[in-house]
Amino acid sequence: MSFSSDTKKELCRTEINSREEMTSECYGMLLYCKRFGADNIVFSTENAFAANRFCELMSAGFGVITEKTSVLTERHGGGSIFTVSLPVKSECERVFKYFGYVGNEISRRINNAMLEDDVSVSAFLRGAFISCGSVNNPEKDYHLEFAVPYRNLCRDLVKLISGVDRLMYTLKIVERKGIYVAYLKDSEQISDLLAFMNAPIASMNIIETKIIKEIRNNTNRKINSEVANMKKTITASMKQIKAIEKIRDCAGLESLSGELRDVAVMRLENPDMSLRDIGKNLNPPISRSGVNHRLQKLMELAEDCSKQK
């Protein structure tokens, strides 16, 4: 199963503690399902847990009869599409009117009178996500979205989320092939929203994945930096050795002062040694900058040797 399917599975296992919570989750699933009207209610999903959840909540909340069918699809590895409908028209009308609709609305909007507190809003958003939401695997990308067929209904959803004290951020909206998509790309915001809808495992997975990614990235940066510094040190060392060998072949190391000769011999014998370690191994020890100064002097002498030739 995908990360999104696992998240919906977790949401579908949320324990319902009151009738208000039950009807609020039903409301979210209905308002953002395939078809929600006075004469026809159809819930369609590729998630078996979502289909079963819809059947259970509709039965427990409204005592209605539902019919569930499934067909195989070639999409996403040949899974099934589950369709749940209410076969009795009078029951469709009863459920439709329960949430404050009469059938002559110009456009479908969220009836905020049905959502009195954070518990009911949480349940409503849980239902909406189960119905039309998805979330990417955080290993690949941080992205959560609600795909809504109506612009005003999408805007209402965004406004509802931004009004929650624990969230207080605004999802962006983009139109995609006639569908309005409200989305988040910030990992912390996605994690907060999933936790609010009661998907703590999915929420923690996103947090843990982000931490692991940051540790991995920091480690890679450190390794890359160390490799770059090592290459830089080796390149500089080879130039220094080449210069010292030129002095040796041109005038002999005996021509150098004691201080320069000690550094030259130490570098020739220890091509991988850092300037700081060379300084520590001299007698008497000197600083890194002192070693660098003497090596620069050796480089100048080597250049003079080249000019003399």
DSSP-derived letter for residue 112 is G
- Full strand arrangement of the beta sheet holding 144-148: 133-135, 144-148, 179-184, 172-176
The pLDDT score that the predictor gives to residue 77 is: 59
Q: How do residues 30-44 score in pLDDT, each as one tens digit? A: 999 989 998 999 999
Contact 260, 243 (CB under 8 A): no
Cα gap 116→206, rounded to integer Å: 30
Q: How do residues 167-198 score in pLDDT, each as one tens digit? A: 888 999 999 999 999 999 999 999 999 999 99
Cα gap 157→163, rounded to integer Å: 10
Cα gap 154→308, rounded to integer Å: 82
Q: How do residues 71-104 score in pLDDT, each as one tens digit? A: 877 665 567 899 999 999 999 999 999 999 887 7
Strand, helix or coil for residue 107: coil
Two tokens, residue 166: 């624990």
Alpha helices in 44-173 (DSSP H): 48-62, 89-98, 118-132, 151-162
The pLDDT score that the predictor gives to residue 130 is: 97
